[in-house]
Amino acid sequence: MDYSNRVNSKKGAGGIATSEETNVHTKKRVQELLATHILDLDNDPYVFRNHLGILECKLCLTTHNNEASYISHLGGRKHHLNLERRRILDEKQNSQLKFQQKIQDQVSISNIEKRSWNKIGKPTEFKVIKIRDSNTLQIGLLINCKFPKIAVDEPLFRIMSFYELTSKNQNICIKEIEKLRKAENEEDEENEDVGDDEEYEPTKFQYLIISAEPYDNSLIIIPNKNEIDKPQEENKMSNSYWWYWDKDTKEFYLQFLYKN
C-alpha cells in the first residue's frame, strides 16, 4: 500500500492510513490467502471449530477468529516447528512399536506351530531293573522301553522335579505315591514295622518323562535320596549315565547310577 503524500507523513516515509484503508487492505489480503490456500477443516487433523465458531489449532494451542488468520498461522514459523517436532516424535514412537513387535514375534510361542498327533496308548513293554556297579558298588536303575510304532527318530527323555510338572501331572504323581505308601504300610504292619510317612512326600522324588510319538508320555517315579551321578554338561554321557536307542529292535535303554 502506498502511504506517501498523506497527512502527517514525512518525506520518504509512509503516511498514516485511515481505518477504512486498513480494512480494505485486510480484506484484500484475506482474498489473496483464500485464493492461494484451500482450507479443508475435515481433513486437517490439527484444526477444529469450537462452540463459539472460533478456529483452534490443537498442535500449537492457538485460536483464530477466521479462516484467513488460520491460513496465516499455517505458513508461520511456530506451526512449522511444531510440525517438525511432531514428525520426530511420531518416528520415535513408530520405531519403538516396531522393535517391541519384533521382540514379541521372536519370544511369543503363539507363532510356533503346535504339534498334534493321534495317541495310541502306552509302550508295549516297559521294564525298570535295579542294578549295582561291580567296581564302584553304586546303586542305580536300568530302564528298557519298546516303541515298535514310533514316528520320530528316537525317544526323548527328561528327569524333572515335582515343581516342574504341570498341575495335572502333579495330581497323578500324588495318587501314585499314595498307592505306593499304602501298599508298603500294609506290608510294614504285617511285619510290625511302620514306616515314616514323610518319606513319601511328592517333593522328595524325581520324575523321569519319556516321550515317543505317537505313544503317550511315560512317567517313572525315581527315589531322590541320593544324587544321580551324571556329567555336568547337558546331553553328555558317561559310564554311570548313558542312554541308547536301537533302531532295529525299536528299544530304548537308559541307565544311571547314584553317587555313594
Domain with CATH 2.60.40 in the chain: 125-257
Specify the CATH number of the domain 125-257. 2.60.40
User: What count of Cα atoms within 13 Å lies in the side-chain half-sphere of residue 57?
Assistant: 23
Residue 206, all three cell numbers: 524325581
Q: List, for residues 30-53, the tens digit of each pLDDT value.
A: 667 666 666 666 788 888 888 888
Residue 179 has what pLDDT?
Answer: 84
What does the block give as the cell for 235? 546331553
Closest listed residue to residue 239, CA positions, set 251, 223, 257, 253: 257
The predicted-structure confidence for 70-106, as pLDDT tens digits, reads as follows 888 888 899 999 999 999 999 999 999 988 887 776 6
Give tens-digit pLDDT for 122-159: 877 888 889 998 888 888 989 898 888 888 888 888 88
Q: What is the pLDDT of residues 172-207, one digit of tens each?
A: 888 888 888 888 777 766 665 545 566 778 888 888
According to DSSP H, which parts of 108-230 are helical? 167-190
pLDDT class of 56 with cuts at 50, 70, 90: very high
